[in-house]
């Protein structure tokens, strides 16, 4: 079916799928003609069409250039729904609720870090547990859970894992309202009780990067970035806690849809009206997982700071390990956007997509009010990542959203076959990149060739005008689950 889906060209970087059948709105895909050839290799365009059937969806079912096949929604998909008549879909958020990326900058430059790089990566690998189901040294009590669900990243700060200033550089200051312990299953609580402060597996990573190129000196300066500077990218989410919450509520919403007579082309779009009991219960559990994920990334960043202190025998002032920003990319947010010329409150599902708000927007931190929100587009462990900034066009076109990464091009099975017989650790080390992981399998699944070139993805959103390039990051050290 993907091959059959017709796309009408809006401009060189934007295509429209006209409304047909049960679609309530058209689909829109940000891509170049070359990128579309890759996108058509899986069924993600079919998922864009399916999402357009959701009750209450507004304007368009949107896909970013990193789009690829996901659960229900495509990864790289965006849908805003009406609060009164619309639905909330766990598949439109993703299993890893509030998976996201944060960037920490330092005062160090490459020539200072390179001589001790292996020692640094080893220290990071030992301090930050990674891998499927791997627990850490922090064990959460029921009281801890209650506090995390209520306070998010602020709980971590109160325990000594970070500085108050960090909160000013996290979406929504690291706290999402409405979390309720009663909406969460015991199984979810059990799965999450020792996974806080851990990285996870799959495409999650911690990466030591060098600021390799500056595209916009004024913006880079506003974000505290300079050439040859050492930074750290941290990519992870709510671990087994969020995964179990998604699993629990998909089942409940399938029952709701049968009861309410909601018919959609794919049962993976399981959903409930936002104002229904099922919808409200999911949002209460979802909010708890959002706060868990922000807490998780906050603790990991502090472990990272401690690793730098020990290896380089320096203190906080010399390291300058300051958070640039933390962006969420598996989330639903209640925001105000213009629809048909009128401002209305909608629920924006961002599944593998980030907010990208322009300067002056009330939802970005005071420190970035005059420049716009930082946007991060991680690449793969062998190639570049990018820092961008949101623009005014995102509000008109994408509900204030941009892409979240390079986007997979190969399935994990295909990547494993391609990696058979290769020593990917040695290949990457030849490029000056030290990689440590719990197993060879994850590294093979996540090999650079498994992903689109992040620079191509980045150029599409830059040329389309929905974000502007600020700086390029080059990896030199990576830890994987």
Q: Length of the chain in residues, anyone?
A: 481
Per-residue pLDDT tens digits for 418-453: 888 889 999 999 999 999 998 788 888 888 889 989
Chain position carrying tokens 């995964």: 243
Return the pLDDT at 407. 87
Backbone angles phi, psi at 199, to 5 degrees: -90, -35
Quote the CA–CA distance of 351 and 345 in Å, as a whole number: 19
Band of residue 167 on the pLDDT scale cut at 50, 70, 90: very high
Q: How many CA atoms lie within 13 A of 302 on its CB side?
A: 19
**% of the chain residues with pLDDT over 70:** 99
Rounded distance between C-alpha atoms, residue 413 and residue 480, angstroms: 18
Q: Which of 182, 176, 287, 175 is nearest to 242 (CA)?
A: 287
Q: For residue 12, how many other CB atoms are within 10 A of its CB?
A: 12
Q: Which of 204, 337, 404, 462 is catalytic?
A: 404
For residue 200, what are its two tokens? 């996870």
122's enclosing H/E stretch is helix 117-127
User: Residue 179 is encoded by which pair of tokens?
Assistant: 């979390």
If DSSP codes are grouped into helix, strand and coil, which group holds residue 316? helix
pLDDT in tens, 405-426: 988 888 888 888 888 888 999 9
Alpha helices by DSSP H, listed for 277-402, are 277-312, 316-319, 392-397
Instruction: Tell me the C-alpha to C-alpha distance, in Å, between residue 307 and each of 119, 121, 300, 369, 383.
Output: 10, 9, 11, 32, 24
DSSP one-letter code for 40: T
User: pLDDT tens digits, residue range 65-102?
Assistant: 999 999 999 999 999 999 999 999 999 999 999 999 99
d(CA 85, CA 282) in angstroms, rounded, equals: 17
| 83, 146, 149, 286, 304 from 179: Cα distances, Å | 19, 9, 6, 7, 28
Q: For residue 347, how many other CB atoms are within 10 A of its CB?
A: 23
Residue 106, pLDDT > 80, answer yes
HSE value, Cβ hemisphere, 13 Å, CA-based, for 20: 9
Distance CA 79, CA 480 (A): 31
State percent of the chain over pLDDT 90: 88
- Average pLDDT rounded to a whole number, residues 133-144: 89
Beta pairing partners, 272: 88
Q: According to the model, what pLDDT value does residue 440 have? A: 83
CB contact burial 426-452 (16+ within 10 A = b; e otherwise): ebbeeeebbbbbbeeebbbbbbbebbb
Task: For residue 33, count CB atoms less than 10 angstroms from its CB and return exposed for 0-12, middle for 13-18, buried for 19 or more.
Answer: exposed
Q: How many CB atoms lie within 10 A of CB 154?
A: 23
Confidence check: pLDDT of 458 > 60: yes
pLDDT average, residue stretch 201-208:
92
Catalytic status, residue 235:
no
DSSP 8: E
Task: Give the whole-angstrom CA distance, residue 266 versus residue 52.
Answer: 12
Q: Which residues pair with 374 in a beta bridge?
A: 389
Q: Give the tens place of pLDDT for each residue, 346-399.
A: 999 999 999 999 999 999 999 999 999 999 999 999 999 999 999 999 999 999
Per-residue pLDDT, 2: 61
Segment 240-252 mean pLDDT: 96
Strand partners, 216: none
Look at residue 3 in the predicted model and tell me its pLDDT: 61
CB-based contact 304:321 (threshold 8 Å): yes
Question: Contact at 8 Å (CB) between 111 and 230?
Answer: no
**Burial track 177-190 (b if 16+ CB lie within 10 A, e otherwise):** ebbbeebbeeebbe
- The 10 Å CB-count burial string (b at 16+, else e) for 123-137 is bbbebbbbbeebbbe
What confidence tens digit (pLDDT) does each residue in 12-28 have? 999 999 999 999 999 99
Give the model's pLDDT for residue 130.
Answer: 86
Contact 69, 37 (CB under 8 A): no
pLDDT digits (tens, 9 = 90+) for 261-271: 999 999 999 99
């Amino acid at each position: 079916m993907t091959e059959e889906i017709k796309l009408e060209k809006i401009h060189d970087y934007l295509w429209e799928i006209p409304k047909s059948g049960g679609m309530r709105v058209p689909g829109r895909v940000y891509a170049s003609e070359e990128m579309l050839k890759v996108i058509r290799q899986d069924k993600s365009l079919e998922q864009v069409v399916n999402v357009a059937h959701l009750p209450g969806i507004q304007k368009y079912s949107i896909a970013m250039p990193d789009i690829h096949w996901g659960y229900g929604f495509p990864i790289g998909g965006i849908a805003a729904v009406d609060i009164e008549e619309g639905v909330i879909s766990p598949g439109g958020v993703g299993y890893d609720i509030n998976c996201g990326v944060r960037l920490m900058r330092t005062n160090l430059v490459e020539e200072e870090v390179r001589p001790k790089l292996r020692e640094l990566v080893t220290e990071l690998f030992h301090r930050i547990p990674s891998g499927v189901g791997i627990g850490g040294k922090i064990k959460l009590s029921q009281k801890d859970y209650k506090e995390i669900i209520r306070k998010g990243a602020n709980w971590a700060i109160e325990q000594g894992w970070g500085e108050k200033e960090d909160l000013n550089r996290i979406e929504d200051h690291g706290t999402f309202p409405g979390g309720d312990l009663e909406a969460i299953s015991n199984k979810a609580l059990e799965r999450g009780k020792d996974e806080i402060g851990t990285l996870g597996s799959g495409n999650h990573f911690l990466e030591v990067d060098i600021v390799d190129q500056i595209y916009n000196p004024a913006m880079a300066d506003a974000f505290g970035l300079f050439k040859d500077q050492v930074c750290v990218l941290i990519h992870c989410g709510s671990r087994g806690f969020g995964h179990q919450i998604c699993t629990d509520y998909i089942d409940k919403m399938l029952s709701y849809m049968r009861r309410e007579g909601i018919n959609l082309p794919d049962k993976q779009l399981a959903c409930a009206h936002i104002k229904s009991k099922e919808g409200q219960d999911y949002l209460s559990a979802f909010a708890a997982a959002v706060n868990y994920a922000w807490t998780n990334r906050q603790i990991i960043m502090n472990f990272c700071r401690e690793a730098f202190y020990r290896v380089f025998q320096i203190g906080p002032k010399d390291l300058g390990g300051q958070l640039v920003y933390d962006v969420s990319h598996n989330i639903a947010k209640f925001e105000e956007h213009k629809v048909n010329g009128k401002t209305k409150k909608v629920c924006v599902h961002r599944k593998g997509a980030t907010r990208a708000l322009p300067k002056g927007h009330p939802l970005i931190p005071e420190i970035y009010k005059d420049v716009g929100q930082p946007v991060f587009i991680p690449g793969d462990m062998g190639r570049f990542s990018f820092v961008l900034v949101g623009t005014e066009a995102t509000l008109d076109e994408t509900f204030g959203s941009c892409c979240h990464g390079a986007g997979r091009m190969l399935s994990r099975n295909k990547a494993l076959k391609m990696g058979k017989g290769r020593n990917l650790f040695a290949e990457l080390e030849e490029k000056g990149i030290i990689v440590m992981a719990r197993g060879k399998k994850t590294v093979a699944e996540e090999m650079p060739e498994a992903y689109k070139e992040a620079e191509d993805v980045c150029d599409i959103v830059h040329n389309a005008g929905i974000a502007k390039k600020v700086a390029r990051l080059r990896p030199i050290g990576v830890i994987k689950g």
